[in-house]
Amino acid sequence: MSGMSAGRSAMRMGPAELVQAAAMARRFYLEGKSKIQIAEEFGVSRFKVARVLETALERDLVRIEIRVPAELDAERSDALRARYGLRHAVVVESPAEAEETTDPENLGEVAADLLGELVEEGDVLGLAWGRSTIHMAAALDRLPPCTVVQLTGVYDAGTAERGSVEAVRRAAQVSGGDAHPIYAPMLLPDAATATALRHQTGIARAFEYFDKVTVACVSIGSWEPGISTVHDMLSDEERAHYASLGVAAEMSAHLFDADGRRVGRDLGERCITVKADQLRRIPEVVAIAGGQRKAAAIDAVLRSGLVTSLVTDTSAADYLMTAGPTPKPALGRTDPDGI
């Protein structure tokens, strides 16, 4: 230990010094006054104020704590944001009782709060089909006035009122803006049927808003039963075909391999969905997805560069932090396959 350090540690603060240090710390940390203002009040130099505040920290007279709600993991969130070059990454504690749960409902609740921060008056909010986006919409309690548009058809048109359509209506109700739902299945038997549906009045009106969307909320699925809407809608033969192309994930009916490249583009011709290049032009695309079973799929979609922000859980985050080589920054909206 140097002589200076030893001397400093041996110094004791007398009662007057302690009282003054406490008063200065209160002005600075609690009342938000500047060091110059404090110096003027106490008749000392601002350099002395700086030394007193530093000593107050060293002597444990002042303790600084950074606290976030217990369910949020700030350290993992920041690390994940930096690794993938995201604008926002919010990591939520995984449910202890259900390690295999995908997209726990609390992800939707946190995503609802995030949208409350991101959406501004006059924005166009796009919502894609997904259980997590449905949970998010149900949890919404604040949104500025904005237009809400559905970005994809639904998994089952017979349940539209309880799914994506209801999510769009709920978000529009909270914001007080217009709603543009899509009453059509996401996947059609052939391209001709999909094309005909896209020209129907209500659907065409929703599609007109796709290029105006400023904030989008999407879900991510891995290529296995029950965790990918598209996977579940296809025949066994079709699943095998796309699996042979290396599909690892899907988002809004777009398929991706493990490196984030789009595969099976012919599927899009049969789908009612926003195009990949339209997603890339949206300033803020928030993905909601979590769980160990979706972790690899989340990594694949993040590598595509289509997503700018992520709400996930600790289970998926731990995988993402060590998944393959460090990806290119998403904020550059990289285009790994020349979309």
pLDDT at 160: 42
* Cα 81 to Cα 98: distance, rounded to the nearest angstrom: 25
**Lowest-confidence region among 68-77, 128-137, 266-275:** 68-77
**pLDDT tens digit string along 37-78?**
999 998 999 999 999 999 888 888 887 766 555 578 888 999
231-265 as b/e: b if 16+ CB within 10 A? bebbeeeebeebeeeebbbbbbbbbbbbbbbbbbe
Cα→Cα distances 87→25, 263, 282, Å:
34, 26, 13
Query: Average pLDDT for residues 130-148, to the nearest whole number?
Result: 91
Q: Give the global pTM.
A: 0.76
User: Taking all residues of the chain, what is their mean pLDDT, rounded to a whole number?
Assistant: 85
Q: Quick one: pLDDT band at residue 228, thresholds 50, 70, 90?
A: confident
